[in-house]
Amino acid sequence: MQGKSLLLHIVLFILTFCTTLLAGAMQSGVHILKEPEKIYKGLPFALTLMAILLSHELAHYFTSKKYNIKATLPYFIPAPTIIGTFGAIIKMKSPIVTRRALVDIGASGPVAGFIISVIVSIVGLSFSKVVPLQEISESIRLGDSLLFTLLSRVILDYHPGSQDILLHPIAFAGWIGFFITFINLIPVGQLDGGHIAYALLGEKHVYLSYGLMLVMVHLGLLLWEGWALWAILLLILGLRHPPILYWEVPLDQRRIVLGWCALFIFVLTFIPVPFKIY
């Protein structure tokens, strides 16, 4: 790898760590301009979120290398948001030639990120607190996936409807990890879920993509307008998956099972209304 390219990856990684550190400190109530020495309080959130993103992208990277596919190191994306980043991506510079490789590469990132997210969510929820709903004054509340709700009930004896959770920064990073996993596993276009769906369904995958666009627009009108924006973005990026070179190489049973496991994770991490504004 050329020195300038490697330097870019390192700089973006450092910048993203700084912005997530800043975001984590602000979530912990630190006024950065008045008490910059307390920025260390953002470390639990920053380190956890960076670990989730890094595990996701490195899984893609090393799986691509396994199949001799040229891929870049992760590009981390710093951003002035409440979480300090727009995530991370890698860029594949050569085509994926078989359906087996497509499933392995598509599933590796979400599965790796999902495993780390489960672990940190368990740890973070053990440090979180349950409070009566009337004591919550924030204007923005987080929605829950099936899995996050299950973990909350088991670890905290949480009862939705009458209670809410004051998430520890580590648990919040785990929640974000689940959300990132779900978004990447949407079986549309060239998302990770799109890779898997195309490997399993072939050209029929495009019908699934159009169907999901309609579902997302419907959800955007009924539940959360963000889904409609996602539908528009995915439509701009393209709903069709580029063909692979050797379609005739069949999927084995292990890849089929892996594809269904990815679908199961997709369902477990789906959040109908990610953000609720009161």
Give CA–CA dist 235/211, Å, rounded: 12
What's the CA gap between 254 and 167, in Å, rounded? 37
Q: Is 106 within 8 Å of 184 (Cβ atoms)?
A: no
Task: Render pLDDT for 18-66 as a digit per residue (tens, 0 to 9).
Answer: 999 999 999 999 999 999 999 999 999 999 999 999 999 999 999 999 9
- pLDDT tens-digit map of 159-203: 777 778 899 999 999 999 999 999 999 999 889 999 999 999 998
| In the chain, where the domains are located | 3-186+247-277
The tokens of 51 are what? 């670990």
185, 269 contact by CB (below 8 A): yes
pTM: 0.94
What is the 8-class DSSP label of residue 92? B
